[in-house]
Amino acid sequence: MALEHYMLPCLSKTLFGFECMGCGLQRSLLLVFKGHFTDAFWMYPAIYPLIVLGGLLLLSRFYKFKFYQKSINVLSLISIGTIFTNYIIKQFIL
């Protein structure tokens, strides 16, 4: 059973013909699960900050450490910046 058959198509790419800011996230996450870490990064560079952010959010749900809110804010900004930068590069440079 291949997970590729259950991925959601990008509505923006299907209807309008250009990629959205989230294009590549599902494929990148699948590559991480398969162990292809560099390929996952090249597919969607924000995958690793998002994984760390998700883990931190899950951890902070059960255990509040000293700077958890500041860490979440910093990782959120890093993720958003990486997503925007990746989108700009995909749309206008490549």
The boundaries of the domain holding residue 73 are: 22-93
pLDDT at 94: 66
Residue 7 falls inside a structural domain? no
pLDDT in tens, 11-35: 888 888 878 888 889 889 999 999 9
Residue 1 falls inside a structural domain? no
Confidence of residue 3 (pLDDT cuts 50, 70, 90): confident
Residue 2 falls inside a structural domain? no
pLDDT in tens, 48-76: 999 999 999 999 888 888 888 899 999 99
pTM over the 0.85 mark = no
- How many independent structural domains does the chain possess? 1
Phi-psi group of 36: left, alpha or beta (phi > 0 → left; psi -120 to 50 → alpha; rest → beta):
beta
Which backbone phi and psi does 80 adopt, to 5 degrees?
-65, -45
